[in-house]
Amino acid sequence: MQFADTHCHLDFCQFDLSRELLLLECHKASIDLIIIPSTKHGGWDKIIQLGQQFHQLQPALGLHPYFLSEHSESDLDKLDSYLKHFASSVVAVGEIGLDALVGDFPLQQFFLERQLDLASRHQLPVILHSRKMHSQLIKSLKKFDLPGGVVHSFSGSTQELKQFVSLGLSIGVGSVITWPGSKKTRKAIQDAPLESLVLETDAPDMPVVGEAKGQSTPLNVLKVFESLCQIRLESPENLSSALWENSLRLFNKSNYTFF
């Protein structure tokens, strides 16, 4: 079985001293694809460099809504330039989206839709952040012709999940399903089309059950998978195979040999 972590902030400084050893451990555990989404333009160069240095890592570039106050309109022009210059290595535009805790919704929407437009023009999938903003995000998504994407760390109802899937989006299955109290999300993931699901950790911030916040690593994708096996009807072998193929298809890596 092979596994992909489709959302892991392995560029964060807390991994600087352990990153190479951690990637070796991931390879031993058959975690052979890790997508690194960015948050601010200042981190793009490091993410590109990591993608060049480590075969498992694939970079995504974008402006995260949580850091709205640090973004400028010129960053969007820089993003366009980076997507052109690094077209052969960047696999997605992200992490982008809307966040109810940030405020200034019009400005959030401006940055989101400008980045959705860039993703459409460069024909790249999007990695979407949505915190209590699913309906508003869906309205924006409907305006653009996108080649796919993933709703990162999905937490919501079956109906919300169906709306995203109807737009051709994948669903990021993360640590929230390891928490028994997340009944609504677990039910939605249980009933979701298998071809729409991919695994993720959102390391280092999103803990699995029993773990302290900030301690997550991409190795936790195995714990997320174990929890998924408990709520899905497929055999672990069929489930893992489908999740791997879904991840390769989402990021246009179906013909790529990782190891």
Q: Is residue 100 part of a domain?
A: yes
pLDDT tens sequence across 200-231: 999 999 999 999 988 999 999 999 999 999 99
Please, which pLDDT band fits residue 57 given cuts at 50, 70 and 90?
A: very high
Mean pLDDT, residues 122-150 taken together: 97
- Check whether 29 has a pLDDT greater than 90: yes
Domain span holding position 201 = 3-250
User: Which residues, other chains included, contact 108 with Cβ-Cβ below 8 Å and sequence gap of 6+?
Assistant: 65, 68, 98, 99, 102
Is residue 83 over pLDDT 80? yes
Checking if the pLDDT of 259 tops 70, the result is no
- Closest to 178 measured CA to CA, from 221, 135, 142, 133: 221
Q: How confident is the model at residue 256 (pLDDT cuts 50, 70, 90)?
A: low
Q: What is the pLDDT of residue 213?
A: 87
Residue 166 within a domain: yes
pLDDT at 35 over 90: yes
- From the list 32, 36, 76, the residue with the least C-alpha distance to 59 is 36
In a domain, 223, yes or no: yes
Amino acid of residue 228: L
Residue 256 lies in a domain: no
For residue 254, what pLDDT is reported?
81
12 domain-assigned: yes
259 part of a folded domain: no
- CB neighbours (10 Å) of residue 62? 31
pTM of structure: 0.97
Residue with the bigger pLDDT between 128 and 180: it is 128
Contact between 199 and 228 (Cβ < 8 Å): yes
Calculate what percentage of the chain has a pLDDT beyond 90: 96
* Distance from the Cα of residue 43 to its chain's centroid: 16
**Burial label, 230 (beta-carbon count in 10 A; 0-12, 13-18, 19+):** exposed
Tracing tokens 């974008």 back to the chain, one arrives at: 62
Instruction: Check: CB of residue 239 under 8 Å from CB of residue 232.
Output: yes
Least confident range of 81-85, 86-90, 209-213? 209-213
Residue 259 CA to residue 257 CA, distance in Å, equals 6
pLDDT in tens, 179-195: 989 999 999 999 999 99
**How do residues 165-181 score in pLDDT, each as one tens digit?**
999 999 999 999 999 89
pLDDT for 258 beyond 70: no
Give me 135's structure tokens.
Answer: 């309906």
| CATH number of the domain that residue 98 is part of | 3.20.20.140
Is 126 contained in some domain? yes
**Better pLDDT: 259 or 238:** 238
Mean pLDDT of the chain: 96
Counted domains in the chain: 1
- Within-domain flag for 174: yes
- 2 has pLDDT over 80: yes
Q: Report the SS3 class of residue 99.
A: strand
